[in-house]
Amino acid sequence: MTFSEQSNQIFSVCTNYYHTMDNVDAEFKNPYEFKTIEYYLFLKNWIDAVQWHLEDIIRNTAIDPQEALLIKRRIDRSNQDRTDLVELIDSFFLEQYSEVQPLPEATINTESPAWAIDRLSILVLKIYHMQQEANRLDAETTHKEQCTKKLAVLLEQQKDLSAAIDQLLNDIQAGRKYMKLYKQMKMYNDPSLNPILYGKK
């Protein structure tokens, strides 16, 4: 099984698991051993699934402004958790390929393996929800047809992205590509770097 196949499988299991409860406050239970790559992949998709639905909730035009603010703060924390986890997954790859000597002509990729996997996790969620829309019993035929076409595009994207991830990992392992871990350094979350926050002192 390739890494993308493993990731897609875990993301799909987690997405379906979340939707058995379909509750942003549901208790999280990770079936994989703590600190394994499988554990981190499952956690990654769980974070994405919860945030997906928080983004839905906050777009309710009838939402109470105070509740919306609390949800926005929660989304901010979720984004930071997501970023931290992506960097952790990249650390896994750095360790895995630490003994590989890059070839003289080796090049760096535009994104790291974990950021591509981040996109794959979200893509699995898009596929799940587009499938739901394509099968909606209360939706009009035109809506279902449009969603079916969009679903086909998403499935093609999943296939292409999966192949690209596996190719990137193969290239890193063979020394044709090399990777670095760049911290995102999100400034708006840091009280010492956000002028709105440190200006209050």
pLDDT tens, residue by residue, 131-168: 999 999 999 999 999 999 999 999 999 999 999 999 99
Tell me, what's the pLDDT at 98?
94
- pLDDT, one tens digit per residue, over 38-76 is 999 999 999 999 999 999 999 999 999 999 999 999 999
Strand ranges for the chain from DSSP E: 107-108, 177-178
pLDDT mean over 106-120? 96
How confident is residue 182, by pLDDT bands cut at 50, 70 and 90? confident
Q: Quick check: 195 pLDDT over 90?
A: no
200: in domain: no
| Exposed e or buried b per residue across 138-174, where buried means at least 16 C-beta atoms within 10 angstroms of its C-beta | eeeeeeeeebeeebeebeeebeebbebbbebbebbee
198: in domain: no
Total domain count, the chain: 1
Sign of the C-alpha dihedral, residues 28, 90, 9, 146?
Answer: positive
Q: Quick check: 201 pLDDT over 60?
A: no
CB atoms within 10 A of CB 44: 26
- Round to whole Å and give the CA distance between 46 and 171: 29
Domain with 159, as residue range(s), is 3-191
Cα 178 to chain center, whole Å? 22
173: in domain: yes
180: in domain: yes
Tell me, what's the pLDDT at 198?
80
Q: Quick check: 187 pLDDT over 90?
A: no
Tell me, what's the pLDDT at 172?
98
199: in domain: no
Cβ(105)–Cβ(28) below 8 Å: no
Task: Please state, for a pLDDT cut of 90, what percent of the chain lies above it.
Answer: 89
- pLDDT, one tens digit per residue, over 83-108 is 999 999 999 999 999 999 999 999 99
Tell me, what's the pLDDT at 185?
67
98: in domain: yes
19: in domain: yes
- Polymer length of the chain: 201
Whole-prediction pTM: 0.91
